[in-house]
Structures are given as structure tokens and as C-alpha cells.
Structure 1
């Protein structure tokens, strides 16, 4: 194998960064908690994100020859059945993520074309859903026709988003040095203190969703030159970049937005508002907003590429014939499970159809986003489960990289992360962006419960179909 086919750890770090966090993640959680989210970010990184990344590092290093990532880790530590169930739930949780990403692409095009948020006022829910579906259908076709698109898109998209975030923070400092007032002033210690209530707990899942996902790049660890040594480096690179983005980015938002009076559509349009605001204040007009719109599109294209490729490969190629119907195992000439992409598209369309019945485009966007804050943390629990199983039987699993040499201590840290993640996912079921007494609140609450259950039920049907096919000798 030639050197050019290897993935270096900086490129893998950028691939993980693309999947884990972007400027929008800062906006989402700033809308939920205001400047208090800075304290939440610091605590979360210290007590959760860093150990989480290092656990993924050891799992990736220990099972460096396993191509399925998380599902391979669970299979190796707990057997084939749980391995399949992990792959399915991870894939199912990625469906709302894909839809949300495609949603964001449509919004980015709206800003790039119109230069404002006017698309929200003129577009119907049905048209928004149709354009969202069209985006990833077109992208699936293009991805299958363009070879080696994944590494290029992730390096370009991840790099562009990180540069834009640094630029936003730098321009914020420049504005402050030139006497710009702070919109959230006056600032006191209480300004950075999260308000602990039901709303706070219901938003923790979205925070964990924003910082999880590094394990999605694990299937590519086998394409590194020195996976046991370099995979942990990529994870540490990701942690540093994400920490800078969240902490300094959140403070910068507090400079331009009054966290006591935030726009209703901040989650959907906040990133564009922010860059448009800072651009006009430094005399560049709307150019910063248009530049961010382009960076956002590159970032989202990279995210779609990684999601559609990695999540489908993890499910279809790593579960084997025992659990998957033969139709889903079919590969096209480029080695991609094309029928898996079709299944992904169909389920995505179903979720989009559910969202059409919400009041407006902004509420569809918020619901899909918050749905990710439920299903994604539940699936993240598998990581800590696999790590605990590995450390319980550490004599069976050898690795050049070890997170905490003492098995008992490592197990307890993983147990802590598991409990926090499970609790955050459960509280996330409560809708965050609508009044608790409204009809929409109860509508979203029911959808938040029913949608994961439907995706879970489908995971039980697939092995039954596969077993029936095998019994008939097909």
C-alpha cells in the first residue's frame, strides 16, 4: 500500500472535529443557557469531554484492526448480538443528525442567496422538507461519483469552520479594543452561573450531543500508518480545538447578543446574525456573513459525507450476514452499500414528514435539533459500556495506549460518564423552545418519545428478516 493512501492523525483530527462540533453548536447552547453556558462548558470539558476522548483513544488503539468502530468495540467485549444492536442504534441516531445537517444546508443557501433570513418568512413547511430531502439525495449521488471526496471535504470543511471561528473571536477582541460595548453587560459572577432547573437539565443532552461523535471516525483508524500511536493524538487535537471553539466562542456571542433578550430564531439563524453583525461593525458590510455562509456549506457538505459514509458502513459492513437482510449488504462498483443509503433516505423522509405538522420552519429546525439531543446521548452510552467491559477484562485486551492504569479507577470514571450521559438523554425528552402549557409542547413531547421507539423497533425487525432469508436458503 502506498503512503498516499494513509490518513495522517491531523487529517483524522479534522474529520473528528467536523463531526463533533461547529460554530452552530455554540449558538444552540448559548440560546439555551446564555453566558452561563461558559461555566457549563468548562465543567463538561474537565469532567466529561476529556475522559470521553481518551477512552475513545484507548478503545480505538486496542481494536485498531476492527473496521466498525463502536459496534466492533461492543462486539469484541460483549458479543455479536450487542454489537449489532450498537451498530443499529448508532445508525438510527444518525438519521435525525443527517436530516438536521441537510436542514442547515438549506438555511445556508437561503442566506447566501438572499443575504438575510427572508426564506423563513416565505417558505412553507412542505417546501422546506422537500428541499432538505433533495439536498442529501443529490449529495448521495455526487458522493458515489466523486472518488476520494471524503478526506478532501473533511479537511476543507473542518479547516474552514475552525478558521472562521478563530476569526470571529479575534474580531470580537478587536471590537472590544475599539470601545465596542458588551450587549450582555453588566457582567457579574451571576452572569456566568447556570440557572439549575428543569430547563437546564433538559438542555444537557444538546451539550453532550455537541461534544460527542469522535468515535465515528474510528472505522478509519485502520487506514492510519501507526493507529495505536496516532489515534490518541487525533483525539487530543480534537479536544483542544473544540475547547477553544466553545469557551471563547460563547463569550464572543455574549458581546454581540444580550443573553437576556435573544432572538426566537437564534438556533437557526444565529450564526449568520453573528457574522453579519461583526462584519458591519468593522466596516466590511455583509461580506463576513457571506463568507461564513460559504464556510458553513463546506462544513455541512463535509459532515454529510462523513455521516452518510461512516454510519452506513458501520451498520451494513460491520454487522454481517447474520443480522442484515441480503439486499442491504449489496455494494456498488465504488464499494459503497447503496441500498443502505436508500434506507437512510427513506427514514429521513419519514422524520421530515412528521416535522411538517409543526407550526413553522423555525420550530421544525428546533425540534430536529433537540431530537438529536435525545437519541445521540443515549447511543453515546455504548462507548462507556464498552470501555467498562474492556477494563473489567483488561487481561484480554492489550493496548499501547492506556487511559488510567488502574482498572478500578478507569471503570468508575466510565461509569460516571455513563450516568451523566443517560440522565442527560432522558431529560432531553422535555421540549426546550416552546411554552410548557402549549399544544406544540405536548405535540413535540409525544414525537420525542415515539420517534426513537420506531427507530428502535426497526432494529429488531432486520435480524428477523435476515434469519428468514437464511432459513429459506436465499
Structure 2
């Protein structure tokens, strides 16, 4: 009786698939894929990245989550269990460090959303000197650093509401766009050519240096690992959930691409690349409103949801990764004591100052770019290089787990495969794909962008090495 009651409280695989989908996917992923990969040509690349990277990545996360079901620290805990505390510190540091760029992009994105929400376009905002827009971004960033230091709990609720509404609008966009030709057949939709030339990408330098955009888009499913053992029969149902997730993401990516192809000519997009990278989602919702005869209504709704989402995510991204790093048992022995200082609101105040210096420095350096659109485009590309670096630790943890399979695996744990050679192959393959895409994404013909793409990971990597040395010096001195 007790066992049946426990099973009745267990989650269905469909529920987990939907939870994972809302965590991983967003409308911006569809737009970025369409822009960077010449419209419908991205469909081939989406399918390739799903089959060769996303599916094995998801299944590996499932196995790690199943084995370490009681670990609350995520990837750092997995690394700690399989490789020891020092490696766990480096994993935790990587997960924190990649947010330095992400934090910078949230301030920029929030101001851009606000411009769309107030003026209905960004003509005035984009005409300002870059120094002015970056100064405004810096002021916003410093304000939300102060908010994070005060420990405001309402931010998490706002972020959840904004995130849910953005997710719903992403799905509605696709559904409404496919219904638009029936409702307004004379709206001037683009004709989509389905010949092979428009579906197979050009395998050139631009193509290979943009693949990090797709890897960045499909990453993040390790966030759902705590729910693996809350499923009914996880060994059977978790693979179903991950396959369901992959199918939903693939369908959404393909249908979203087709919907955008009905609106925009890829040639026009390529001729105005920075404008579309910066404003693509808003332009899409604006056009959708025109098709339905409601003007910019959908765009305004999307903009203000995004304003709340960007700024609340900014605070969470300052606070949450910092707490995960400085609050973890694994990392405390490798971090200088001053960084562990907590203020009366429970915030790691010196850690926030470290974010101020690093993210603030990036914001100031980007004043060298020609305009606000170039800043936004540069941040999206830099994020696609830096953020996926955290996924490398997932594959390292998986390989380390399989090397010690007898130590950790118990009956009932989910396994991606029982064949060790296949498990190792999948781990090394996913690591290689991830690392190669990050490395290729660094390339740029613009000197300022290239400098940032190279310097940012190096500075963060060196800082991660220096902090344990400082702590070691402190211990020796004591």
C-alpha cells in the first residue's frame, strides 16, 4: 500500500519532458539559428546537433542525476564524488565564471527591450554613441548588483513569471504564424523554396565558426537532473522524457524556422546582420501583430515580459551562481577567505565586488565597438563561446563515473548504456563537439571582437588558477 502511494506521487515522463523543454528552449534560439545559418538552411544543422550532441548529452545527464540523486550541488557534486574536491572547485569556478559575460548581456538586453517597449523601435537608442549606451548599461548593472547585495526574494518570483510568459509566447508565435495566411492571406508572406540548395548549408568559415550558437541553444538540461529519481521507473521513463524533449525541441526549432522564413528574406537578413541579431525577436512579433491587425500589440507584450525577465535574471545571475560557488563545501578550501565574507543580508559582498570588476570591465571595454547593435551581436556570440564551456564538466563527470562504475552504480539506477566502450565513446565525442564549437566560435574578422573572444576565457581561466594559490598562501602564512 505504501509502495503504491509512493508510485502515485511519482512524476510522469511527459511532465519531466515539458519541464526540461521550458528550461532549455526559448524563442531567441530559433531567431539566432535562422539569422546565423541563412534561414531554412539551419534545419539541417538543427537535426545534426540534436542527433550528434543533444540526445547523448541529455542521456548522460540522466545517468549522472540518477546515480547522484541526493547531491544538491549539481555538476560540482558529481565531480567531487568522482574526482575529488580540487576538481570540484574548478567545475564550480567554471559554472560561475561563464556568468560574467551572461550578466553583461542581461543589462544590454534589458535596455534594448525597454526601448522597444517605450518607443516601439530602437532607432533613437541605436543612434546614441556607444559610450552613452554602455554608460547606461553600467549604471543599470551597478544598480542590480546593489539589489543583489540586499537579498530581494521577490526577484525569483518575477523571473519565474516572466520566463513562463516568454515560453508561452514562443509557442504561440509559431501557432499564430502558421494560422496567419488563413486569417490574412494578402499580407505579403515570403515564398519558401524547398529545393536542396535552400536546405543544405554552405560549409564555409562562417558556418563552422557559428556552430557554438546551436550548442549554446540546446545546453542546460543538467538543471533537471534532481528530478530523475522522482519519475516512475526512471530506467525506462527517463530515456522517454529525453527523447520527448529532443523531439519537442527539434519540432519547435524546425517549425519556428519555417515561421520566420514566411516573414524574412535571408538575403535581407545577411545584409543587415547586426540589426537582426539585436532586434530579430521584436521585429518578428511586430510583423505578427500587423498580420493580425493589432499593430505592435504582440511586440509590446513580448518587450515588457523581456524587460522583467532580463533584469530579474540579471539579479539571479549575480546572486545564485555566486552562492553555488562560495557556499559549496568543495570550493571553500580553495577560495581566499575575504571572498567568503557575508553581509547582514546574507549576500557574499566581496564576491559581488568581484563581479562588478569583471562584468563592469567588460561593459566598459565594449564602448570601443561602433554602436549598440554591434555590442548586442558581440555579446550573443561571446556568450555562445563562453557559456557552453560549463557543459564540458558534465562529460568529464560522466567519463569519470563510468571509470568507477562498480563503485557508484547500484540496482535501479538509470544507465544510458551497459556497454562501457559505447559510454566512453559518447562522453569523449560530446566533449570534443562541445570544445571544438567553442574554439571555432572565437574566430572573428573584427579585431575588437576577436580580442574579447580570446581575452575573456583566458582571464577567467587564469583567475580560477590564481585564487587557490592565494588561499594556499593565506594558510601557510597563518
Q: In the TM superposition, what is the alpha-carbon distance from 1:207 to its structure 2 partner?
A: 1.0
- CA distance in 2 between counterparts of 1:310 and 1:130 reads 25
Does 2:214 correspond to 1:207?
yes
Q: Which residue of 2 aligns with 1:294?
A: 304
Of the three residues 349, 363, 372, the one matched with 2:374 is: 363
Give the 3 Å change call, closer, same or farther, for CA 468–216 of structure 1 in structure 2.
farther
1:310 is aligned to: 320
- Flag the 1:241–1:345 CA change in 2: closer, same or farther, 3 A: farther
Instruction: Report Cα offsets for 1:429-460 as digits up to 9, x if no partner.
Output: 112xxxx4xxxx13322221122111111111
Structure 2 equivalent of residue 261 of structure 1 = 268
Distance 1:142 1:446 in 2: 31
2:28 is matched with 24
Return the alpha-carbon distance in structure 2 between the equivalents of residues 227 and 154 of structure 1.
30
Instruction: Tell me which of 274, 283, 304 is aligned to 2:284.
Output: 274
Indicate the residue corresponding to 1:337 in structure 2.
Answer: 348
Q: 1:25 to 1:469 in 2, by over 3 A?
A: same
Q: How does 1:3-402 map to 2 (within 5 A)?
A: 20-33=24-37, 34-143=39-148, 144-147=150-153, 149-150=155-156, 152-177=157-182, 178-179=184-185, 180-183=187-190, 185-216=192-223, 221=226, 239=246, 242-262=249-269, 263-264=272-273, 265-318=275-328, 319-333=330-344, 335-398=346-409, 400-402=413-415
**Is the deviation greater in 166-175 or in 14-23?**
14-23
Q: Are residues 1:411 and 2:424 paired? A: yes
Structure 1 residue 430 corresponds to structure 2 residue 437: no
Contact 1:125-1:356 at 8 Å conserved across structures: yes
CA distance in 1, matches of 2:268, 2:369: 24
The size of the alignment, in residue pairs, is: 457
Q: Is the 8 A contact 2:63 2:416 kept in 1?
A: yes
1:120 and 1:14 mapped to 2: Cα distance? Answer: 37
SS at structure 2 position matched to 1:411? helix
- SS of equivalent residue, structure 1 residue 356: helix
Q: Counterpart of 2:190 in 1: which secondary structure?
A: coil
**Helix, strand or coil for the counterpart of 1:401?**
coil
Distance 1:283 1:313 in 2: 47
Separation (CA, whole Å) in 2 of partners of 1:181 and 1:39 = 27
- Tell me which residue corresponds to 2:7: none
- TM-score in terms of structure 1 length: 0.87
Counterparts of 2:367 and 2:20, CA distance in 1: 32
Measure the CA separation in 2 of the matches of 1:197 and 1:449: 21
Give the superposition deviation at 1:68. 2.2
**Which secondary structure state, in structure 1, belongs to the residue aligned with residue 267 of structure 2?**
coil
- Retained in 2: the 8 A contact 1:59–1:387? yes
In the alignment, the residues of structure 2 paired with residue 388 and residue 471 of structure 1 have an alpha-carbon distance, to the nearest angstrom, of: 35
Is there any run of 5+ residues in structure 1 with no aligned partner, and where? 1-7
Give the TM-score normalised by the residue count of structure 2: 0.86
Q: CA deviation at 1:346?
A: 1.9
**What CA distance in whole angstroms lies between the structure 1 residues aligned with 2:15 and 2:106?**
21
Change (3 A) 1:159 1:52: same
> How far 1:223 moved relative to its partner?
13
Name the CA distance, whole Å, in 2 between partners of 1:161 and 1:40.
25
* Alpha-carbon separation, structure 1, partners of 2:418 and 2:397: 17
The answer on whether the counterparts of 1:58 and 1:232 sit within 8 Å (CA) in structure 2 is no
State the 1:19 CA deviation.
5.8
> Which SS does the other structure have where 2:268 is aligned?
coil
Instruction: Please list the CA deviations of residues 8-40 of structure 1 after superposition, one character each: whole Å capped at 9, or x if unmatched.
Output: 999997886566432122222211112111221
Q: Alignment partner of 1:186: what SS?
A: coil
Shift of 1:91: 1.6
Per-residue deviation, 1:60: 2.2
Calculate the aligned-residue CA RMSD, in Å: 3.0
Kindly provide the CA deviation profile for residues 305-343 of structure 1, in whole angstroms up to 9, marking residues without a partner as x: 543343212321224331111122223455443332332
**Mean Cα deviation higher: 358-367 or 235-244:** 235-244
* Separation of aligned partners in 1, 2:101 and 2:316: 15
Please report how far the alpha carbon of residue 206 of structure 1 lies from its aligned counterpart in structure 2 after TM superposition: 1.3
- The 1:299–1:16 alpha-carbon spacing in structure 2 relative to 1, beyond 3 Å, is farther
Q: In terms of Rg, which structure is larger?
A: 2
- The answer to whether the Cα contact below 8 Å between 1:394 and 1:407 also exists between their aligned partners in 2 is no
1:184–1:358 CA distance, 2 compared to 1 (3 A): farther
Conserved 8 A contact 2:66-2:414 = yes
